[in-house]
Amino acid sequence: MTVTILQSADSRMVVNKAGQVRPDEPVTLLTAPGRVAGDPELPGFTLDLAKVWQPDF
The tens digit of pLDDT for each residue in 3-53 reads 666 666 665 556 688 888 888 888 888 888 888 888 888 899 998 888 877
> Rounded to whole angstroms, how far apart are CA atoms 38 and 53?
19
Residue 55 dihedral angles phi and psi, to the nearest 5°: -65, 150
Residues contacting residue 27 through CB under 8 Å, at least 6 positions apart: 19, 20, 21
pLDDT at 44: 93
pLDDT at 2: 65
